[in-house]
Chains A and B, each alone.
Chain A
Amino acid sequence: GEDVEQSLFLSVREGDSSVINCTYTDSSSTYLYWYKQEPGAGLQLLTYIFSNMDMKQDQRLTVLLNKKDKHLSLRIADTQTGDSAIYFCAGGTALIFGKGTTLSVSS
């Protein structure tokens, strides 16, 4: 069946760049998404990329899509302590979520 996989933890220092990676199996996704979950809250859409794009930039966020390798990444430039959260990759015709990557930012 469809699957979305991502690493579980990432720890960075404030001011560094963070890169969160994701692989997926369903190549029919029209869009691929990144959601953010802050402690004690529901998920919120952070950004998305249309499947015929290779890259999308939105302020500090850069999404890269490699369709051949079915690999999606989210880069956060100048990471701040407020970026500490769980980041979910999602895609597929039935919108499958990955298990989430916990980003920890230390000052």
Chain B
Amino acid sequence: NAGVTQTPKFQVLKTGQSMTLQCAQDMNHNSMYWYRQDPGMGLRLIYYSASEGTTDKGEVPNGYNVSRLNKREFSLRLESAAPSQTSVYFCASSEDRHPYEQYFGPGTRLTVT
């Protein structure tokens, strides 16, 4: 099992450019999440998906869109990147029963200049 995979690992964008971060899991989990991690801010939830076809906003959704393409894949799109979106992005998936352990991908380090 690969667990949770993310692509790309690193990306540099110019302000105003768009890109999609890809995430896939092979654990048959219904729930998937996108977080951003910033120094001193911890982990903040951007969007989550409780099941295929559903998505919900988290704490910091502005400037992002998501697509739950199928049960395995959950993508995060930046339509017009801003320097404030420079961050490390983590995708995670979780079990549907207690203790709801979340499994994290290795992260995408994004820099917007």
Question: Could you list which residues of chain B lie within 8 angstroms of chain A, going by C-beta atoms?
Answer: 4, 35, 40-43, 45, 90, 92, 98-107
Report the minimum CB–CB distance from A50 to chain B (whole Å): 8
Given the interface pairs A42-B106, A43-B90, A48-B99, the reply to whether A94 lies near B43 with Cβ below 8 Å is no
A42 touches B98 (CB 8 A): no
A31 touches B102 (CB 8 A): no
Report the minimum CB–CB distance from B88 to chain A (whole Å): 9
Q: Is A97 an interface residue (CB 8 A)?
A: yes
B-chain residues with CB within 8 Å of residue A7 when the two chains form the complex:
none
A42 touches B42 (CB 8 A): no
A-chain residues with CB within 8 Å of residue B107 when the two chains form the complex:
40-42
Q: Mark A28-42, 1 if CB is under 8 A from B, else 0.
A: 001101010000111
B-chain residues with CB within 8 Å of residue A94 when the two chains form the complex:
45
A-chain residues with CB within 8 Å of residue B99 when the two chains form the complex:
31, 33, 48, 50
In the complex, 26 of the A-B residue pairs with CB atoms within 8 angstroms, ordered by the A residue number, are A30-B98, A31-B98, A31-B99, A33-B101, A40-B106, A40-B107, A42-B4, A42-B92, A42-B105, A43-B43, A43-B90, A43-B102, A43-B104, A44-B104, A48-B101, A50-B99, A88-B42, A94-B45, A95-B100, A95-B102, A97-B35, A97-B42, A97-B43, A98-B42, A99-B41, A99-B42
B90 touches A42 (CB 8 A): yes
Report the minimum CB–CB distance from B6 to chain A (whole Å): 8
A-chain residues with CB within 8 Å of residue B92 when the two chains form the complex:
42-43
Q: Is A45 an interface residue (CB 8 A)?
A: yes
Bound: A27/B4 CA distance, A: 30
B-chain residues with CB within 8 Å of residue A100 when the two chains form the complex:
42-43
A8 touches B43 (CB 8 A): no
Report the minimum CB–CB distance from B59 to chain A (whole Å): 8
Bound: A69/B75 CA distance, A: 39
